[in-house]
C-alpha cells in the first residue's frame, strides 16, 4: 500500500462507500465523476502505479482485472448491449490517478475513435 495513494485508501476501506466488488486481490467501485450511466473502476489491491510498472509476476493479476470487469458487466446487465474497458497509461493518455485502474463504461453508445 502506498500511503499517499487515494485508490490504495479505497481498497483498504479507509475512504469511499461500499465497493461494487472486492476480494483479496481486486476492488471495484463507482467512479466519482461518471462518464456513462455505468462507470466502475476495477483496481488491483496491490499498488502498481501504471501499466508501465507492471511486471511479469503481475500477469495473473492483470488477467483478473479483465475477468472481474466482465463479471461486473454481466451483473450490471451490460454483457449483451456492450461496454468499454479503458486503461489510461501516462499523462498523454489522460491518466490522473497513478494506481492501475480499468474503467468499465456502459449504458450508452460509445464513439470511436475515443477523444
CA 7 to chain centre: 10
Of 3-62, binders to ligand AMP (CB under 6 A) are 6, 16, 31-33, 41
Of 85-114, binders to ligand AMP (CB under 6 A) are 88, 94-97
Residues annotated as catalytic (active site), given as ranges: 101
Size of the site for ligand AMP (CB under 6 A): 11
Longest dimension (CA), the chain: 39
- Among residues 51 and 57, whose Cβ is nearest to ligand AMP? 51
**Cβ at position 7, least distance to ligand AMP in Å:** 8
**Cβ at position 31, least distance to ligand AMP in Å:** 5
Cβ distance 50 to 89 under 8 Å?
yes
CA dist 64 and 36 (Å) reads 23
**Cβ at position 103, least distance to ligand AMP in Å:** 6
Cβ distance 39 to 104 under 8 Å?
yes
Helix, strand or coil for residue 27? strand
- Among residues 31 and 46, whose Cβ is nearest to ligand AMP? 31
Helix, strand or coil for residue 84? strand
Binding stretches for ligand AMP (CB under 6 A): 6, 16, 31-33, 41, 88, 94-97
Amino acid at each position: 500500500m502506498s500511503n499517499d495513494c487515494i485508490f490504495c485508501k479505497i481498497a483498504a476501506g479507509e475512504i469511499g462507500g461500499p465497493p461494487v466488488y472486492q476480494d483479496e486481490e481486486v476492488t471495484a467501485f463507482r467512479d466519482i465523476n461518471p462518464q456513462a450511466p455505468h462507470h466502475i473502476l476495477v483496481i488491483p489491491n496491490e499498488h502498481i502505479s501504471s501499466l508501465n510498472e507492471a511486471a511479469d509476476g503481475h500477469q495473473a493479476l492483470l488477467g483478473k482485472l479483465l475477468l472481474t470487469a466482465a463479471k461486473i458487466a454481466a451483473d450490471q446487465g451490460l454483457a449483451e448491449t456492450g461496454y468499454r474497458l479503458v486503461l489510461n497509461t501516462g499523462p498523454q493518455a489522460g491518466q490522473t490517478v497513478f494506481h492501475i485502474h480499468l474503467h468499465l463504461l456502459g449504458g450508452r453508445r460509445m464513439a470511436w475513435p475515443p477523444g
